[in-house]
Amino acid sequence: MKGEFTAIIEEAKEGGYWAICPEIPGANGQGETIEEAKESLKGAIQLIFEDRLADIRQGLSQSAIEETISISKKRNKEQITNIEDVFHESENCYNKQLFTNDLGQKRVS
């Protein structure tokens, strides 16, 4: 199984780099180089998934069905043209929503 996740990498004040994965709470890594931090993060993600899967399988019955499913990647920040138009916090309601479609054309919904 192959999965793609976001790695956010920053320089550490004490030297080296640290990395987190916002999609997976608790997943983080560190290293002297960016590549080492990414590899450390990959290892942390793998361990989290293995641990969670082992916990889940312990309580399953013999008749449980296990299947692989796929999801589409969410839109990235660059596809939202004006976040203030999407949600107006002070009124706690939706305002005019202005997005770009997959062809880069603006649309209002």
Are residue 50 and residue 81 in the same domain, yes or no? no
The domain total for the chain is 2
Q: 89 lies in a domain?
A: yes
Q: 67 lies in a domain?
A: no
pLDDT tens, the chain, 109 aa long:
678 899 999 999 999 999 999 999 999 999 999 999 999 999 999 999 999 999 888 988 989 998 988 877 665 554 444 434 333 333 333 333 333 444 544 444 4
- What is the reported pTM? 0.59
Q: 45 lies in a domain?
A: yes
Residues forming a β-bridge with 94: 87
**For the chain, where are the alpha helices, taking DSSP H only?**
34-58, 83-86
Q: 81 lies in a domain?
A: yes
Domain hosting 84: range is: 77-108
Distance in angstroms (rounded) separating the CA atoms of residues 43 and 87? 37
Q: 66 lies in a domain?
A: no
Are residue 51 and residue 83 in the same domain, yes or no? no
Q: 70 lies in a domain?
A: no
**Torsional class of 19: left (φ above 0), alpha (ψ -120 to 50), beta (otherwise):** beta
